[in-house]
Structure 1
């Protein structure tokens, strides 16, 4: 499906694309996960291995997109790839599962994370007040992105720069006051087996997820066959460098034992480095970061249901573009309004577990689609092929599955339950499409 057929305009250049990716990936993860990763790892060695493993998985999966996205630069990203590889039923199951099991809970989780961090600067705020802030930020970004992707991209640029400045302060300050004594173990290093590394890599992966959002914007990117691969690779390298440097700075300034289990590891590091001023600065940085990730998600997620509608697998209204702003406003409304239900009914930890497990399982399906398309469509024009194929593609699947399977059974069942609704949903929409034919 060409850009002319969908009606979307290509307005986003390389810097905007990199900003969207960095803004989408550097969100709540890096501000909240280092403590959890440290507790699961048990010592600094496995702690660093976990970050490298999660980063390797992220960059391998990003390279899968660097081949698929330029070859099929339609709006909707992975939904399009999977439809081409496995047919419309496979595309529908992916699109529905990702929207219900990953995107909507993630929007709610990020909004809640933003409000929770902001609450540190608002004495006396109640839990209801936090939910009201989360509601307000979702509604504000919903309106912003309905008004145009160019405006949304501009916001992504501004907030990406802002959050990077806050993180750079912690990185530089952390290395200045870094103390070797802080790199101590929580448990004997001999007790940290490979399963501990994988368990630690699961929360670490939260700080690397979200790169796929840029692929959904392929229909809006200028010269996507050249720009998209560059943006994916440059953006992921920036993300990996920032996450590793921040993690080392946190350990060096706070201490490994104190860091393990902390729910506000980067804020704790800011306090250790700059005192109370650091608490305020880094808290603001966390809010800016989460805002950027939330903006990137609300900008990109509706492209999946938009593309599904274009293929006759979603309500026709989901394929409409706003008459004035030329944006897919109906799916934007749907995702944001349903996310509000999650904000008011789910906890942060529940939303986190649901969306991460679903996202990782479905990411493996995207990798499988690359393997299938190499055989099914050998003549497809591929401006950039995945280096080391097929070994690197299989490795991406193996690493991602190994990390994913460290989830608890309850977390798996919750996520699988939401994704399983895609099966009856497919039969309903298939029947409706037959009636209207």
Structure 2
């Protein structure tokens, strides 16, 4: 591969950036995770509250994070902010976890979701259709399409950031328009007075629901006080993941036109737009399907939101609204959504690996740009690792494991605002965190509370993530010795 480019190309404008933020956030989660939230809190009021709190956290994070992006609008984004706030070890641990699990696992999971929903229209793509059985690993047509989509998007992004943003603009705007169309059709054609009365008559009657694996018996436990707070905290795991990637635009700081303004505006506009969409879509769900249901139910109405088949609320709503035709439409919408989401993630993350390699903490060839002005080697290695995760089938488990680490790094990053105001008081800040210090502190408090809940009540969601991060410590020192430090004068001017 030719390595003739001398720098990134500034080709990402405000609309492109908004589509990257919104498009990277909206994947398949909004069509799925409300089922688990419904089982955790058991009432429509608290279901909407969970999504509202998630939106509040996300917007507060974006309003705070914007100060860091305007202070250091460089390739690498969060990695750079952590490096300047806490040093290279902390920054590396973030980049290590990002590469190993967070971004690559997300790419794999979203690609498989794309392939599964393609199977609604083209049944040949099925996990039952095994192309190669090696005993430990079975290679199915779903994995074939998932890997093919990752490779295709990687090739497109290898040709330059303009190509990646072009794809993002098309798929991002299409799925946002389609989601608003879904809202319109849902409210006009699917609204059911009986469902509205059922779901909104007892808004705050919180109950957690569990099902015995052997007998199928349903247990409903009334929640109040601390138990309710724990229920809300654990319910937010899925909604936070569905709203994540809002910060990915910061990874591409060196490729954005007027980055000090564009990054901040795109994060705020993008997160607000997605938050409004998510809440309204859940309102539509509640006007069409009952929240509470029976796991043994034979149709979408009897299973309800809580027990939608495979948690696929989107297709359950479509089934009630219009049968096979509407289900096919939802499948197409989710295909567009997941494809656009993956393009945004694939485009953004390699800029972090580029910054790490510039610091001598990752493979040296990742610190080079190809002839099109993008980190081609980083894109390729990311493609290979994400594809291997598709084959392993362990990507969803890995994502569950690192939710604690994801929140921990966000807390540290927002905390960096306080540190950098002390250590870099005279550095130009075209944008300062709105409501400082209260809004940054609000985000850190909410995220810390969820981390505390995970540590105490969901150890399977916290300790494995800490272990993955901890393994990065010896790896950091190994990389420090093995890789020659590649210095860039620009990177040292902070």
Shorter-chain TM-score bucket reads over 0.9
TM-score using structure 1 length = 0.94
Moved more, 160-169 or 135-144: 160-169
Q: Deviations over 1:157-179 (max 9, x none)?
A: 00012212321222112222323
CA separation in 2, counterparts of 1:365 and 1:436?
26
Contact 1:98 1:358 in 2 (8 A): no
Unaligned runs of 5+ in 1: none
The 10-residue stretch of structure 1 (13-22 or 314-323) with the greater mean CA deviation from structure 2: 314-323
Distance 1:270 1:63, change over 3 A: same
1:221-246 superposed Cα distances (whole Å, 9 cap, x missing partner): 10111211111111111011100001
Report the equivalent of 2:268: 233
CA contact (8 A) 2:62 2:247 kept: yes
- RMSD across aligned C-alpha pairs, in angstroms? 2.1
Aligned match of 2:299: none
1:132 paired residue among 134, 141, 144: 144
Q: Deviations over 1:332-380 (max 9, x none)?
A: 1111101111111124641431343332221112112122111111111
TM alignment of 1:254-269, pairs within 5 A: 254-257=289-292, 258-262=304-308, 263-269=311-317
Counterparts of 1:277 and 1:347 in 2: how far apart (Å)?
33
Matched, 1:422 2:472: yes
Aligned-pair distance for 1:416? 2.3
Q: In the alignment, which residue of structure 2 is the partner of 1:160?
A: 172
Alpha-carbon distance in structure 2 between the residues aligned to 1:304 and 1:142: 16
Q: Return 279-288 or 416-425, whichever deviates more.
A: 416-425
* Residue 275 of structure 1 pairs with residue 287 of structure 2: no
Deviates more, 1:105-114 or 1:149-158: 105-114
Q: Equivalent residue for 1:147?
A: 159
Q: How many angstroms apart in 2 are the aligned matches of 1:200 and 1:174?
A: 25
2:98 is equivalent to residue 98 of structure 1:
yes
Distance in 1 between residues matched to 2:275 and 2:436, nearest whole Å: 22
How far apart, CA to CA, are the structure 2 residues paired with 1:426 and 1:340?
A: 24
Answer whether contact 2:369 2:375 (CA < 8 A) is retained: yes
Report if aligned partners of 2:118, 2:125 keep a CA contact under 8 Å in 1.
Answer: no
1:335-414 maps to which residues of 2 (within 5 A)? 335-347=382-394, 349-407=396-454, 408-414=458-464
SS in 2 for 1:209: coil
Match of 1:76 in 2: 76
Check 1:119–1:434 CA distance in 2 against 1; reply closer, same or farther (3 A cut): closer
- Where does residue 211 of structure 2 map in the other structure? none
- Whose Rg is larger? 2
> 2-side partners of 1:6 and 1:209: how far apart?
32
Tell me the distance in 2 between the aligned counterparts of 1:436 and 1:237.
39
2:338 is aligned to 290
Shift in Å at residue 206 of structure 1?
A: 1.9
User: Counterpart in 2 of 1:310?
Assistant: 358
TM-score, normalisation: structure 2: 0.83
Query: What secondary structure does 1:275 align onto?
Result: helix
Q: CA deviation at 1:33?
A: 1.2
Tell me if the contact between 2:37 and 2:236 (Cα under 8 Å) persists in the aligned partners. yes
Partner deviation per Cα, 1:387-422 (whole Å, 9 max, x = no partner): 121222121112123234444222323322322221
Structure 2 residue ranges without an equivalent (≥5):
128-139, 208-221, 293-303, 488-494
